[in-house]
A = this chain, B = another copy of it.
């Protein structure tokens, strides 16, 4: 008898009919004999509805009271889903985050789970019940209600699985798994059967935002086997995200990620003195702008260097403004900026033991006349920044050249 934690998102429980459909799925699953803990989100639209009411009342809604307000969303879902299960003759019981002591820190609106009391859940499972737990919510040490922030239901499910030492944590969503690349760009993209936590974290930006990054980090930390599957089809197999050592056939390249939200900023001809990286990036980070890739290169002219980095496209003009000031202060030649770039990344744990992947990637892009503007590498990822117009071409040619469409 296995213990499975399942998570259904807001869309899956967005109406009475959908709650009833989810109940049917759960009942069928529970009849196979496994123990089931189900974590659910608020019905889709509910969180937005409550947020709008709060905004009518308070200019900057209190984070503590927002958490009291928003957690009613999942509380409604757990009771309705439990009723729907009981109606089908499947014994079920609901618990709020407070009732199973999903203890978090006190960071309202973005709390982090510290522990879960598994005692009650095990008792209810032992009594033959399906246990329905409110996702997204917890309580701090003093009993104040907290939320994990948007998408936190994934994290709740993984944390439940970790606390209960579940055999698998299944995240039901509207996609049927993790693909080798965004299928909207490359129709030959293939659903992976397994992928490692590390790769999944690097690929988090892959097209459809399949999983919250934090839930993958959590799963990785506690070695929770995590499966993403579709709630729209019968008997889905999805993609299993697990430890590297559990993956038998390690592909050299697992997938190709891309990010369209990048913008590039360069400071050209900076006098090369110690501390220039710090002097350039400090005002940027002080403006709460997150920097992604950073590349420092030697300039053609002696004693001068070029410094480039990427930011989210939303922060582009603000960052550019700041950089213009920095340019004067550092006596640099010029600021070059380009918000028409994308980042394409090759991801694969096999890279660790295979040299020459980067060279091969650059060659493929060169053959397609794709000019590489920035390069950044990690142990299991190679990212390049290229002109936005080459995005599809780059993804498709890399996908084909590395034969990602084949098992």
Contact = CB atoms under 8 A, between A and B. Distances in A.
Interface of A: 16, 19-20, 50, 53-54, 56-59, 61-62, 64-66, 68-69, 71-72, 75-76, 78-80, 82-84, 86-87, 93-94, 96, 98-99, 143-145
A93 B64 contact: yes
A79 B87 contact: no
Contacts of A66: 79
A59 B72 contact: no
19 contacts: A16-B53, A19-B57, A57-B80, A57-B84, A64-B93, A65-B80, A65-B82, A65-B86, A65-B94, A68-B96, A69-B75, A69-B79, A69-B83, A72-B72, A72-B75, A72-B76, A75-B75, A96-B145, A99-B144
B83 A58 contact: yes
A80 B62 contact: no
A143 B100 CA distance: 10
Given A80-B53, A98-B98, A87 B59 contact: yes
A93 B142 CA distance: 14
A143 to B, nearest CB: 6
B68 A75 contact: yes
Contacts of A72: 72, 75-76
**List of 6 A-B pairs having minimum Cβ-Cβ separation, nearest first:** A72-B72, A69-B79, A68-B79, A58-B83, A65-B79, A58-B87
Contacts of A16: 53, 56-57
Contacts of A93: 64
Given A64-B93, A72-B75, A78-B68, A83 B54 contact: yes
A54 B16 CA distance: 9
Contacts of A20: 57
B98 A86 contact: no
Given A20-B57, A62-B82, 7 more contacts: A16-B56, A50-B76, A54-B79, A57-B84, A57-B87, A68-B94, A96-B145
Contacts of A145: 96, 99
Q: Which residue among A50, A59, A79, A87 has the maximum number of chain B CB atoms within 10 Å of its CB? A: A79
Given A57-B19, A84-B57, A99 B69 contact: no
Contacts of A98: 98
Contacts of A59: 87
A84 B96 CA distance: 26
A394 to B, nearest CB: 48
Contacts of A96: 68, 145
A177 to B, nearest CB: 31
A82 B72 CA distance: 16
Contacts of A58: 83-84, 86-87
A157 to B, nearest CB: 19
Contacts of A82: 62, 65, 68
Nearest to A83: B58
A143 B65 CA distance: 22
A33 to B, nearest CB: 24
Given A56-B16, A94-B68, A61 B83 contact: yes
